[in-house]
Amino acid sequence: MINPFIILTGKTASGKDTVMAKLLSRPPNLKRVVTTTSRTPRHGEQNGRDYNFISGALFQEKIKNGDFIEYVSYGGNLYGTEKSQLTSNIDSGLIWRIDPSRAGQIREFIKDSFEKNITRDLLKKIIVIYLTVDDEVVLKRLQGRGLSQQEIEKRMKQDTRFWQEYKNNYDFVVENIPGQLDQTVDKIVNLIENRFS
């Protein structure tokens, strides 16, 4: 079986981090693609595990050097994925949790970032999985995070916009039904096995 390169994306509050953690604990032994950020670590976050934390100046230098596959400014901080995250693990199974707009463009990012042989190897391993969950569940989860109604509406509208723009670029849509985490992960593992066996 080819070592898969799983791009995990989905709606706001669809359980992406929880599903990713569960996938990382099961075969095929996946390595997580770790995002680099210029923001400071939050309580409990570890460098190299949660994010690669660097200064804004070093982040800008890495942009100039062409070190990133993609990067974005969000909430006053920079977030990006360094090419080395993929090239140093090209023979491993990888999982990359990324927002829906970036996931929708992932194949283009790879084509623009690597030479042909690496691009070819990565593209044949990619499977883009979009997690969805009922809007009522999203609403409750976001309210539980203490977000304002305005922020909740903004995030849900953004979800709809990204879905409409990029839905044809997602390979599979998996519903993450609350209380059925194991079933969700089983579905994803089956999709991977069927795709690459």
Q: Give the domain ranges of the chain.
A: 1-33+92-197, 34-88
Q: How many residues does the chain have?
A: 197
- In angstroms, the Cα distances linking 98 to 8, 189, 192 are 6, 19, 18
* Residue 27 pLDDT exceeds 90: no
| Beta-carbon count within 10 A of 50 CB | 15
Please tell me whether residue 82 adopts helix, strand or coil conformation: strand
Output the CATH code of domain 34-88.
3.30.63.10
- Digit-coded pLDDT (tens) for 13-22: 999 999 999 9
Report whether 83 contacts 122 (CB < 8 A).
no
Residue 28, pLDDT > 80, answer no
What value does the mean pLDDT take over residues 107-126? 94
Q: Compare 128 and 144 and report the one with higher pLDDT.
A: 128
CATH of 1-33+92-197, one of 3.40.50.720, 3.40.50.300, 2.40.70.10, 1.20.58.340: 3.40.50.300
- Write out the E strands in the chain: 5-10, 30-32, 36-37, 52-53, 68-74, 77-82, 93-97, 126-132, 172-175
The residue-averaged pLDDT of 84-97 equals 90
**C-alpha gyration radius of the chain:** 17
What distance in Å separates the CA atoms of residue 81 and residue 16, rounded to the nearest whole number?
A: 18
* Residue that the structure tokens 């090239």 belong to: 87
pLDDT at 173: 96
User: Can 1-33+92-197 and 34-88 be said to share one CATH topology?
Assistant: no
pLDDT for the residue numbered 29: 79
Two tokens at 104?
Answer: 């929708």
| pLDDT(75) > 90 | no
pLDDT > 90: percent of the chain: 75
What's the pLDDT score for residue 129?
97
Identify which of 139, 83, 129 has the alpha carbon closest to the alpha carbon of residue 103.
129
Q: State the pTM of this model.
A: 0.90
Percent of the chain with pLDDT over 70: 99
Q: Check residues 75 and 171 and name the one with the higher pLDDT.
A: 171
Q: How confident is the model at residue 197 (pLDDT cuts 50, 70, 90)?
A: confident
What's the average model confidence in pLDDT over 59-79? 92
